[in-house]
A and B are shown apart, each in its own frame.
Chain A
Amino acid sequence: MSSGRTNSSAFSSGSPLRRLGPWLLLGVVIVATLSLAVFGTRDAPTTQDRVSSISRTVKCPVCSGESVAESNAPASQEIRRDIALRVQEGQTDDEIRSYYVARYGEAILLTPSASGINALVWILPVAALAVALAGLAIVFRRWSTEPAETASPEDRRLVEAALRGDETGSSELADPTDGHGEGDSR
Chain B
Amino acid sequence: MNVALGRAGVTLGLVAAVLGVVTVGYGLVRRRPDLIRLSRAYAVLVFVGGIVAFIAMERALITRDFTVKFVADNGSSKTPALYNFATLWSALEGSIILWSAILGGYLVAVVFKFRKRLADPLVGWALLTMLAVAAFFFFLMAGPANPFENFSPPAGFDGPGPNPLLQNHPLMAFHPPMLYLGYVGFTVPFAFAIAALATGRVGEGWLLATRRWTLIAWGFLTAGIILGSWWSYEVLGWGGYWAWDPVENASFMPWLTGTAYLHSVMVQERRGMLRVWNISLLCATFALTILGTFITRSGVLESVHAFTESSIGPSLIAFFALIVLVTVGLIGWRGDRLRSPGRIDSPLSREGAFLANNVLFGAFAFVILLGTVFPLVVEAINNDRISVGVPYFNRMTMPIGLTLLFLMAIAPVLPWRKASAELLRHRLIWPAWVGAGAMVFAVAVGARGLAPVVAFGLGGFAAGSAGRQLVLAARRQGWRGLVGRANGGMVVHLGVVMIAVAFAASSSYVRQAEFTLRPGDTAEFAGHTLLYEGQNIKEESAKTINQALVRIDGTGPWAPSLNKFANGQTTIGTPSVRSTFTDDVALSVIDIRGGDDPSVTLRVTVQPLIIWLWIGGGVMALGTLLAVFPGKRRNPIDAVSSPLAGASPPEPEPEADRVVANA
Contacts and interface: CB of A to CB of B under 8 A. Distances in A.
B454 interface: yes
B56 interface: no
Contacts, number: 188
Interface string A27-65: 001100110111010100000110010001101000011
B388 A112 contact: yes
Contacts of A186: 205, 637
Contacts of A106: 384-386
A75 interface: no
A125 interface: yes
B371 A26 contact: no
B471 to A, nearest CB: 16
B219 to A, nearest CB: 24
B122 A185 contact: yes
A36 B243 contact: no
B396 interface: yes
B330 to A, nearest CB: 17
A12 B384 CA distance: 63
Contacts of B367: 125
Contact of A136 (B236, B355, B514): B355
A37 B386 contact: no
B511 A49 contact: yes
Contacts of A77: 590
A116 B345 CA distance: 43
Q: Is the interface of A mostly helix, strand, loop or mixed?
A: helix
Interface in A56-85: 56-57, 59, 64-67, 69-72, 77, 80
Given A5-B655, A121-B374, A38 B385 contact: no
Contacts of B389: 57, 59, 65, 67, 110-111
B230 interface: no
A153 interface: no
B436 A133 contact: no
B204 interface: yes
A17 interface: no
Contact of B450 (A5, A34, A122): A34
B385 A33 contact: no
Interface string A94-121: 0000000000011111111000011011
Nearest to B384: A106
Given A26-B433, A110-B387, A143 B343 contact: yes
18 contacts: A26-B429, A30-B436, A33-B436, A38-B448, A70-B238, A106-B384, A106-B386, A107-B385, A107-B386, A108-B387, A110-B387, A110-B388, A125-B367, A143-B343, A148-B343, A180-B272, A181-B200, A185-B208
B222 to A, nearest CB: 24
A27 to B, nearest CB: 9
Interface string A136-157: 1000100100001100000000
